[in-house]
Amino acid sequence: MIRPNSTIKAISAGEPFIGPERIMRERGLDSMLRLGANESAFGPSPRAIAAMSAELPHLAWYGDPDSHALRGALAERWATLLDDILITSGIDELLGLVVRCYLEPGETAVTAAGTYPTFAYHVLGYGGRVESVAYCEDGTIDLDALASAAQRCNAAICYLANPDNPSGSFVDAEAIARFRAALPARTLLLLDEAYAEFADPASVPERRAMLGIVRARTFSKLYGMAGARIGYAVAPQALLAPLLKVRLQYGVNRNAQIGALAALGDEPFASDVLERTARGRAAYGALGQELGLPTLPSATNFVCFDCSSRERADVVLEALLRRGVWTRKPGRAPLDRCVRVTVGDEAAQAHFAAELRAVCSRVTA
Ligand SMILES: *Cc1c(COP(=O)(O)O)cnc(C)c1O
């Protein structure tokens, strides 16, 4: 009998993400407003597109397994050593590498119940156990409960997204330092900063490698390169060295490395995206107020509209989808009363506002 190993066999065949392509196929739609995956509405920087296009003829070559040029640019930006930076095929790959290297099968990792799911998915895949703690009623992460759980389980890894997805909530550098100090010394803090660029720069932990922490960054959100699959870790070299033993040497797309380097060099573009996103968040806030769906504070490129009950949120999500607007909603209480909507560009914002108004007039009528 050919069969998968017992770890894999024990996992139920659920999928963390159902892509919009499948939803369109199943519903027979040929277009949809994509506001469900926090993809950038502003696309990659024109400089990234130009650099990647120019290099396409060299797609026969593997990418530099050292990602030397990109790591060099990041090391300068972070005022850190080259070896404190590791390029990966997105944060999602990095999460798997950290779990594989730092969690023994049977050991426990802790996280918030209903946060970004890829971490827990890797923990199960490598034979670990997930201990999760509920969000506070206001949708923020209960850091005290998370630290207690890590102490109780002697956790190998603690995963925290800051800013968080799906809530959008954010804690400042001091809170992160206190939280690190409250974790057991043996617990690795895996700090997912996919949205850090959208938060107040004065409150984000400063750009440096931090003891006992692997910081995860991506080009998928601010830089609009989700389809290219590229991100990076910043951590003391000693924490990253084990990952080098098992990572795929050619796992990072060559063209993605080139595009990421060009994107980093286009600061005016990134500032423009940040400004337009901040305006969009404010516009969503006003829209929520108008419609009686108050929004949660967000330090990201998405906003949660509070529909006050899970049932009502389900109805709003489905009604939007029927009108060709794809959003997502958190799966676990207390956030499952919300619908999470990516901040689109100005046209997408107007389109979304019109559809949400139409949906609300029907739901309440
Ligand atoms: C979108 C997202 C990611 C995905 O990052 P990739 O670099 O595209 O793999 C990781 N973490 C969080 C919290 C996200 O929302």
Q: Measured from the CB, is residue 349 less than 6 Å from ligand 1? A: no
- The reported pTM is 0.97
Given pLDDT bands bounded at 50, 70 and 90, which one contains residue 16? confident
Cα-Cα-Cα-Cα torsion 35, 273, 263, 46, nearest 10 degrees, comes to 90
Q: Measured from the CB, is residue 220 less than 6 Å from ligand 1? A: yes
Given pLDDT bands bounded at 50, 70 and 90, which one contains residue 80? very high
Q: Distance, CA 30 to ligand 1 centroid (Å)? A: 26
pLDDT (tens digit, 9 = 90+) per residue, 188-221? 999 999 999 999 999 999 999 999 999 999 999 9
Give the model's pLDDT for residue 362: 77
pLDDT (tens digit, 9 = 90+) per residue, 95-140? 999 999 999 999 999 999 999 999 999 999 999 999 999 999 999 9
| Domains of the chain by residue range | 18-43+268-363, 46-265
Q: Measured from the CB, is residue 192 less than 6 Å from ligand 1? A: yes
CATH code linked to domain 46-265: 3.40.640.10
Give the model's pLDDT for residue 364: 59
Q: Distance, CA 256 to ligand 1 centroid (Å)? A: 16
Q: Measured from the CB, is residue 20 less than 6 Å from ligand 1? A: no
Q: Distance, CA 220 to ligand 1 centroid (Å)? A: 7
Given pLDDT bands bounded at 50, 70 and 90, which one contains residue 265? very high
Given pLDDT bands bounded at 50, 70 and 90, which one contains residue 363? low
Q: Is the peptide bond before 117 cis (omega within 30 degrees of 0)?
A: no
Buried b (16+ CB within 10 A) or exposed e, 152-184: ebebbbbbbbbbbbbbbbbbeeeebeebbebbe
**Thinking of the domain 18-43+268-363, which architecture would CATH place it in?**
Alpha-Beta Complex (3.90)
